[in-house]
Amino acid sequence: MAKGDHLSAARGLYTHHAIDLGDGRVIHYSGTASEKQNAEVRLDPYEAFVDGCHVLVVEYSNSHSADEVIRRALSRLAEHRYDLMFNNCEHFARWCKTGDSASEQVRDATATVGGVGAGGAVVAGSLGVVSATGAAAGLSGAGIMSGLAAVGGTAVGGLAVLAAAPAAVTTVAMRRVLADDSSLPQAERDARQTGRVATAVGGAVGTAGAIGAVSVAGVSGLSAAGITSGLAAIGGVVGGGMAAGTAIVIAAPAVAAAGIGYAAYRWLKK
């Protein structure tokens, strides 16, 4: 750790950020996660900032000089404008280093929550489409099969078409979580690029895997009997029937996209 470094202290569910002044002190937005109403940019001993936590240096491929970083940090000393979403401790530290006020914690949280919410809404909407478009209305066995066929030409095609929507939502969310940032080291940028590609691949793999699960979960194959019994068997795992199985199959590619994409990012990052 050196003068002008951006420090990150892991504190359970969040990280706290500061700039190292190089003299045993840091400058940061003070206060705990639950007590920010009186937060201010202030100087504190390094030990008080650490507070028994694991501390890392946030690396950059390009940033201001150490003296300029500290000058920028001190120019905001005693500032009282903390805002969790738009002006938190990470925004402050990144602004000191690069002039770009950003927070990966906020970006990741909003993208994740938005992606989960939107994905859930798409799955629910897909079931509504299945219920309304078939020759037999509702989510009975006949209603689901006719609805899927109406959406995709065949029941299998309908599953694939409907699964594509939540997978696409997840891909957009993951692209935001793993967005490129030219100020970061090249290894981190490469890991993020790999994660974004793996997310798209994961959606395709998840779709194939979900339909494969349908074919083996009930009567073998993807005939009408095979799909009906397969969806019912999958839904039975969570105590539901065909409707629950359909929802699981539609949602599975989105889960696979997020899991495979993030796993690829973490693997390459290590």
pLDDT, mean over the chain: 90
Q: Is residue 10 within 8 Å of 54, Cβ to Cβ?
A: yes
**Length of the chain as a residue count:** 270
Q: Quote the tokens at residue 110.
A: 């909003």
| pLDDT of 269 above 90 | no
Separation between Cα atoms, residue 148 and residue 99, nearest integer Å: 51
pLDDT of res. 50: 92
| pLDDT of 32 above 70 | no
| pLDDT of 270 above 80 | no
Separation between Cα atoms, residue 145 and residue 147, nearest integer Å: 5
pTM, two decimal places: 0.76
pLDDT of res. 13: 83
Pick the CATH number of 6-102 from 3.90.1720.10, 1.10.10.2840, 3.30.70.20, 3.40.640.10: 3.90.1720.10
Domain ranges of the chain: 6-102, 105-269
Strand partners, 41: 29
Q: Which of the four pLDDT bands, split at 50, 70 and 90, describes residue 34? A: low
Radius of gyration of the CA atoms of the chain, in A: 24
pLDDT tens digits along 174-191: 998 899 988 888 998 999
